């Protein structure tokens, strides 16, 4: 066997074993702990009525009970909510509580990521409709990795601080994430990923999202079927026009 054939064989087996190793993945369950909702009046003004506070408390209870699932490996990840609430019987109150619970994290409905192609597709619920959006580059949070450490699920995690511009609210927010270097998969809940390790916890404006459990998941990460997918540029244009319309109507 000549040198060229040897090199080709080496490259083939290297790629084969890399992809084989990349299939070693995880199933992660995240839980939500709402913060700054009632006491600090993050959703409503300080003159909250008893009925409004009761609604918020029920929404918080639902938010705490929900499981968010992340299936991930080095190649792909898929993030989604495990539906527990039965609102199939036209239960308007349960549907209302569920919607308020969704406001706490403002997560996308589904997030599918291809790490090799640097591409993600997410589903966003807006105004009673769900829009499927493809983005050909990941969100840039300008992560600053600090020396702070803590233990999450028995694993050492490091702190990273970043910023995120929310186009829905037209504001920039600080994001605090804790990632696990011993699990070198750049995945995380929703769009909060891209660190050199699995995100074990992320602190958002109204919630702390944290790993509840983690287990090995060596199957291929299933990818949902997205219909009527729009580009991120079209989505940005749609949101910008919708915000301008709302501002005009309410000012």
pLDDT in tens, 141-190: 999 999 999 999 999 999 999 999 888 888 899 999 999 999 999 999 99
- The domains of the chain are located at 25-250
pLDDT of residue 110: 92
CA angle 33, 34, 40 (to 5 degrees): 145
CA distances from 195 to 68, 69, 186, 207 (A): 19, 19, 5, 20
Confidence of residue 24 (pLDDT cuts 50, 70, 90): confident
**pTM listed for this prediction:** 0.81
Question: Per-residue pLDDT averaged across 18-27, rounded?
Answer: 63
pLDDT of residue 104: 80
Evaluate whether 223 touches 78 at the Cβ level (below 8 Å). yes
| pLDDT tens digits for range 32-73 | 998 866 554 444 444 567 777 777 788 888 888 889 999 999
39 DSSP 8-state letter:
T
Residue 6 has pLDDT above 60, yes or no: no
Residue 9 has pLDDT above 80, yes or no: no
Residues in the chain, total? 251
pLDDT of residue 96: 67
Q: Quick one: which of 226, 214, 208, 219 has its CA closest to 187?
A: 214
Cβ atoms within 10 Å, residue 224: 14
d(CA 131, CA 188): 21
pLDDT of residue 250: 67
- State both tokens at 69: 């699932």
Mean pLDDT of the chain: 82
d(CA 177, CA 190): 12
pLDDT of residue 30: 96
């Amino acid at each position: 066997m000549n040198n060229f054939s040897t090199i080709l064989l080496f490259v083939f087996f290297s790629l084969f074993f890399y992809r084989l190793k990349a299939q070693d993945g995880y199933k992660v369950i995240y839980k939500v702990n709402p913060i700054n909702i009632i006491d600090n009046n993050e959703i409503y003004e300080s003159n909250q009525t008893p009925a409004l506070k009761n609604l918020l408390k029920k929404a918080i209870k639902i938010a705490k009970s929900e499981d968010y699932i992340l299936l991930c490996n080095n190649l792909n990840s898929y993030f989604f909510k495990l539906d527990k609430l039965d609102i199939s019987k036209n239960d308007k109150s349960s549907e209302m509580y569920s919607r308020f619970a969704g406001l706490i994290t403002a997560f996308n409905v589904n997030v599918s990521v291809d790490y090799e192609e640097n591409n993600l597709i997410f589903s966003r619920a807006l105004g009673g409709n769900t829009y499927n959006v493809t983005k050909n580059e990941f969100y840039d949070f300008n992560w600053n990795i600090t020396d702070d450490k803590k233990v999450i699920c028995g694993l050492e995690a490091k702190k990273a601080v970043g910023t995120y511009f929310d186009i829905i609210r037209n504001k920039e927010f600080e994001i605090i994430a804790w990632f696990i270097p011993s699990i070198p998969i750049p995945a995380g809940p929703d769009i909060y990923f891209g660190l050199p390790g699995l995100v074990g916890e992320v602190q958002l404006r109204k919630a702390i999202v944290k790993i509840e459990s983690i287990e090995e998941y060596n199957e291929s990460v299933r990818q949902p079927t997205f219909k009527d997918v729009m580009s991120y540029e079209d989505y940005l244009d749609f949101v910008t026009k919708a915000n301008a319309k709302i501002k005009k109507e309410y000012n």
